[in-house]
A and B are shown apart, each in its own frame.
Chain A
Amino acid sequence: MAINPKKTPMREQDPKERIKNFDEVPFGYTEEEAILEAERCLQCKIPKCIEGCPVNVDIPGFIKAIKERDFDRAIKIMKSTNSLPAITGRVCPQETQCEEKCVLGKKYEPVAIGRLERFIADWDAKRGMVIPEIKEKYDIKVAVVGAGPAGLTCAADLAKFGYDVTIFESLHAPGGVLIYGIPEFRLPKSIVHREVEYVKKLGVKIVTNVVVGRTFTLKDLFNEGYKAIFLGTGAGAPQFMNIPGENLLGILSANEYLTRINLMKAYKFPEYDTPVKKGKIVAVIGAGNVAMDAARSALRMGAERVIVVYRRTEKEMPARVEEYHHAIEEGVEFLWLTCPTRYFGDENGWVKEMEVIKNELGEPDESGRRRPVPIKGSEYRIKVDTVIVAIGTVPNPLVARTSGLKTGKHGVVLADENGRTSLEGVWAGGDIVTGAATVILAMGAGKKAAQDMDRYLKEKYIYKKEFAWASI
Chain B
Amino acid sequence: MFEITHKEELCPTIFLMKVKAPYVARSAKPGQFFILRVYEKGERIPLTIADYDDEEITMVFQTVGLTTYLLSYKEPHDTIYDIVGPLGTPSEIHKYESGSVVLVGGGVGIAPIYPILRGFKEAKNKVITILGARNKNLLFWEDRFSKISDEVLITTDDGSYGKKGFVTDALKELIDRGEKIAQVTAIGPPIMMKNVAELTRPYRIKTIVSLNSIMVDGTGMCGVCRVEVGNETKLTCQDGPEFDGHLVNFDLLFERLRMYKSEEQLAMNFLEEKRRLLYGHKS
Which residues of A line the B interface, CB within 8 A? Answer: 170-172, 208-211, 214-216, 236-238, 240, 242, 246-247, 249, 252-253, 255-256, 259-260, 264-265, 269-275, 277, 348-349, 396-398
Residues on A with C-beta less than 8 A from B23 are 209-210, 215-216
Contact of B41 with A272 in the complex, beta carbons under 8 Å: yes
Q: Which chain A residues lie closer than 8 Å to B258 at the CB level?
A: 249, 348-349
Contact A237 B221 (CB under 8 A): yes
CB of B146 closer than 8 Å to a CB of A = no
Contact of B267 among A171, A236, A275 (CB under 8 A): A275
A256-B219 in contact (CB<8A): no
Q: Do A215 and B216 have beta carbons less than 8 Å apart?
A: no
Pick from A264, A270, A396: contact of B44, CB under 8 Å: A264
A255 touches B223 (CB 8 A): yes
- Collect the chain B residues with CB atoms within 8 Å of residue A265's CB: 41
CB distance from A106 to the nearest CB of B (A): 43
Q: Which of B43, B66, B256 has the most CB of A within 10 A?
A: B43
Q: Which residues of B contact A246 (CB under 8 A)?
A: 233
A sample of 10 cross-chain residue pairs with beta-carbon separation below 8 angstroms, ordered by A number, consists of A170-B217, A210-B84, A214-B27, A216-B23, A252-B223, A253-B224, A259-B221, A264-B43, A275-B264, A396-B221
B88 to chain A, nearest CB (A): 8
Q: Are A211 and B233 in contact (CB under 8 A)?
A: no
User: A216 and B256: CB pair below 8 A?
Assistant: no
For the complex formed, measure the closest distance between the CB of A168 and the CB atoms of chain B, giving whole angstroms.
10
- Measured in the bound complex, the distance between the Cα atoms of B259 and A252 in whole Å is 11
Please name the residue on chain A nearest to B274 by beta carbon.
A273
Interface residues of B in 232-275 (CB under 8 A from A): 233, 238, 252, 255-256, 258-260, 263-264, 266-267, 269-270, 274
Does B228 belong to the interface (CB within 8 Å)?
yes
A259 interface neighbour in B84, B216, B255, Cβ under 8 Å: B216
CB <8 Å contact, A249 and B255 = yes
Contact mask B208-228 → A, CB, 8 Å, 1/0?
A: 000000001101111110101
**A252 and B224 within 8 A (CB):** yes
Please name 18 further chain A to chain B contacts, defined as beta carbons within 8 Å, in addition to the given A242-B233, A260-B216, A269-B263, sorted by A numbering.
A170-B217, A209-B23, A209-B83, A209-B84, A211-B85, A214-B86, A215-B27, A238-B223, A240-B223, A240-B233, A247-B256, A249-B256, A273-B41, A273-B66, A273-B274, A274-B216, A275-B263, A398-B238
Residues of chain A with a CB closer than 8 A to B113's CB: none
Cα distance A146–B35 when bound, in Å?
18
> Given A247-B233, A255-B222, A256-B223: A172 and B37 within 8 A (CB)?
yes
Residues in A with CB closer than 8 Å to B228 are: 247
- Contacting residues, chain B, for A237 (C-beta < 8 A): 220-221
| B221 close to A211 (CB less than 8 A) | no
CB-contact partner of A274 in B43, B221, B252, under 8 A: B43
Which residues does chain B contribute within 8 Å of A252, judged by CB atoms?
223-224
* B-side contacts of A397, CB under 8 Å: 220
B259 to chain A, nearest CB (A): 5
A240 to B226, CA, bound (A): 11
Asked if residues B259 and A249 are in contact (CB atoms below 8 Å), the reply is: yes
Shortest Cβ gap from B226 to chain A (Å) = 6
CA distance A460 to B194 in the complex (A): 57
- Which 9 pairs show the lowest CB-CB distances between chains A and B? A275-B263, A349-B255, A256-B222, A253-B223, A209-B84, A273-B43, A236-B221, A238-B223, A272-B41
Partner of B260, one of A211, A236, A271, A275: A275
Min CB distance B205 to A, Å, is: 28
- Whole-angstrom distance between the alpha carbons of A275 and B258 in the complex? 13
Q: Is B42 an interface residue (CB 8 A)?
A: yes
Min CB gap B104→A, angstroms: 27
CB distance from A264 to the nearest CB of B (A): 7
Contact (Cβ within 8 A) B87 A214: yes
- Chain B, Cβ-Cβ closest to A217: B27
Q: Which of A208, A242, A259, A269 has a CB less than 8 Å from the CB of B222?
A: A259
B-side contacts of A170, CB under 8 Å: 84, 217, 219
A398 touches B219 (CB 8 A): yes
Is B24's beta carbon under 8 Å from chain A?
yes
Q: Which residues of A contact B81 (CB under 8 A)?
A: 172
Interface assignment of B67: CB less than 8 Å from any CB of chain A: yes
Q: Which residue of A lies closest to B84 (CB)?
A: A209
> Once the chains are docked, how many angstroms separate the CA of A256 from the CA of B259?
13
Q: Chain A residues with Cβ under 8 A from B266's Cβ?
A: 270, 275
In this complex, the member of A208, A256, A277 whose beta carbon has the largest number of chain B beta carbons within 10 angstroms is: A256
Q: A259-B216, A259-B222 are in contact. Are A214 and B85 (CB under 8 A)?
A: yes
B76 to chain A, nearest CB (A): 21
Indicate with 1 or 0, residue by residue over B186-202, a CB within 8 angstroms of chain A CB atoms: 00000000000000000
Q: In whole Å, how far is A184's beta carbon from the nearest beta carbon of chain B?
A: 16
Q: Which residues in B have their C-beta under 8 angstroms from that of A236? A: 220-221
Chain A contacts of B264 at CB under 8 A? 275
- B157 in contact (CB, < 8 A): no
Bound-state CA distance A249–B252 (Å) is 9
With CB as the reference atom, state the residue of chain B lying closest to A274: B43
The residues in B between 38 and 79 inclusive whose CB is less than 8 angstroms from any CB of A are 41-44, 66-67
User: What distance in Å separates the Cβ of B190 from its nearest Cβ neighbour in chain A?
Assistant: 14
Contact across chains for A256 and B84 when beta carbons are under 8 A apart: no
Which B residues lie within 8 Å of A260 (CB)? 216
**Known contacts A214-B27, A249-B255, A273-B67; is-contact A171 B223 (Cβ 8 Å):** no
- How far apart are the CA atoms of A271 and B224 in the complex, in Å? 22
Nearest CB to that of B218 among chain A residues?
Answer: A211
Does B82 interact with chain A (Cβ within 8 Å)?
Answer: yes
CB neighbours (8 Å) of B263 from chain A are 269, 275
* Residues of chain A contacted by B82 (CB below 8 angstroms): 172, 208-209
Please determine whether B43 and A215 come into contact, CB atoms closer than 8 angstroms: no
B residues near A256, Cβ cutoff 8 Å: 216, 222-224
Assembled-state Cα–Cα distance A246/B219 (Å): 21
From the candidates A216, A253, A269, A270, name the one contacting B27 in the complex (CB within 8 A). Answer: A216
- Please measure, in the bound complex, the distance between the C-alpha atom of A269 and the C-alpha atom of B260, giving whole angstroms: 13
Which residues in A have their C-beta under 8 angstroms from that of B270? 270
